[in-house]
Structure 1
């Protein structure tokens, strides 16, 4: 699992900071999460093969989270993209994008699918044999979802030496990897755990931006490996959180502690702050686990 932070600052872009956008690589997939202004430029700077992106997840329709989407869609058209592109986001995202394409007399030579979301309950929005993606309903000024990405359990791994010593025919390898016990020709039953190793652990990543402090999300993200949680303000500006429906670094840490996550990544900093190390310092007063500050261009090998 690998996370590339293309932008992690709130509100308006600056010459040295970018609004929210991330690329998550998990189980062979490359997912784009939010697409703030300048996303495709950041993709090029990080030398990401963005033609691999087939699924884009938009949290909400505030500009700093999706204004870069139409530019990316148009660039795909200019690059003669052929593969399908799926966009997941709040109801209205289809109308916004298609209006821009229509009024600019543009079109896509590839299939562009919109999956518009309205439910205020968590729902699975993408699933294949490797990964599931479900929404995390958030409390913001407009309809907003975070996203929970989870890899599916893989097959068990053969203990080749043990299997060969027992002279088990290769035709049974597939069933063994699926967890089945095996009966030998002499009638001996061999337990699966005697001839296999456990599969790789499940990877999980929860993206929560933007949101007011909301403990109702804790059961859904309980025990995730990595939580990215917005931390727009430091405690000195906590009085802004209710009006703006954002969080402080300490509040993000409280969610991480309650959810017993392994790693907390902070982001979505207000551009009023020049030193983002203070966010980590304040969060560590609450959550003693691994805390990392996101920053534009930062890559996390998770």
Structure 2
């Protein structure tokens, strides 16, 4: 099974604290690193948790608030110092260029790599990246400015052909890929051997959904349905539901309700307000609705 791992680099909200870094995560998919958001200090977190920066494939910015973006210039400069030459794709709303262009004009003319910005659609569900193994989708969230969530998912893998069946039926090498893709096999004497006899099913494809920042927004449920892991912001305790509504954030209970409606396997809550020094209350409120809930924490690694 290929690697599918999420590392939490930061899970705090807008106000800086000594307890949590601003938002950033790494998704390791088959040894390619995809960064989600890049709050201030993210590159120090990358060093702290020994991430291999030469494996960084792309960066996904959910929205253009500073706690999700202010670490980007420093990281881009560090990649240049490390001698990166391959193109770097940044997926973000088109206004990100108002932030990046002055920096790149002043500092980036000597960068040894090219930065390619791909604009996110803030209104529609969209496939934004695909290779032979994975797909990445973006979808709209509900916040004060255009904001997108992301879903990373494996493609369905070929079936596993049984070694003993290859020998027993003298299956030629040229037929193996067809059988892995579901074809039956006809022997030299005309006997048809069904695929289910020759193969075993692959492991189910895994998926990870990321939703931060957002108000309570049931409209996102179809886009995250059945995910193996959902990260959903839970900025406030339920007692602060009025403030959550006013600031277009979610409470712990609301995050858990979304997880329940989407029938995800596990829920990870984060983007904690700086007002909370202890997080047990937040966890207990979420677990009352969706028991399989965990608190995000810097350095946490979750293997799917």
TM-score band, normalised by the shorter chain? over 0.9
Query: Which deviates further from its counterpart, 93-102 or 270-279?
Result: 93-102
C-alpha distance in structure 1 between counterparts of 2:177 and 2:204, whole Å: 20
C-alpha distance in structure 2 between counterparts of 1:231 and 1:285, whole Å: 14
2:225 touches 2:264 (CA, 8 Å); kept in 1? yes
Q: Does 1:228 align with 2:231?
A: yes
C-alpha distance in structure 2 between counterparts of 1:253 and 1:76, whole Å: 37
Superposition TM-score, scaled by structure 2 size: 0.96
Query: Which deviates further from its counterpart, 53-62 or 164-173?
Result: 164-173
Which residue of structure 2 aligns with residue 120 of structure 1?
123
Are the structure 2 counterparts of residues 118 and 172 from structure 1 closer, same or farther at C-alpha, using a change threshold of 3 Å? closer
Which residue of structure 1 aligns with residue 274 of structure 2?
271
CA RMSD for the aligned pairs?
A: 1.2
Residue ranges of structure 2 left out of the alignment (5+ in a row): none
C-alpha distance in structure 2 between counterparts of 1:201 and 1:301, whole Å: 15
C-alpha distance in structure 2 between counterparts of 1:151 and 1:194, whole Å: 25
For these two proteins, the number of residue pairs brought into alignment is 301
Q: Does 1:244 align with 2:256?
A: no
C-alpha distance in structure 1 between counterparts of 2:73 and 2:95, whole Å: 14
Superposition TM-score, scaled by structure 1 size: 0.97
2:11 touches 2:270 (CA, 8 Å); kept in 1? yes
Q: Does 1:75 align with 2:116?
A: no
**1:248-259 correspondence runs (5 A):** 248-259=251-262
Residue aligned with 1:216, SS:
helix
Query: Which deviates further from its counterpart, 122-131 or 245-254?
Result: 122-131
Which residue of structure 1 aligns with residue 62 of structure 2?
59
Choose the corresponding residue for 1:292, options 265, 273, 294.
294
**1:10-25 correspondence runs (5 A):** 10-25=13-28
**1:87-166 correspondence runs (5 A):** 87-104=90-107, 106-166=109-169
Deviation at 1:176, TM superposition (A): 1.1
1:137 touches 1:146 (CA, 8 Å); kept in 2? yes
Which residue of structure 2 aligns with residue 301 of structure 1?
303
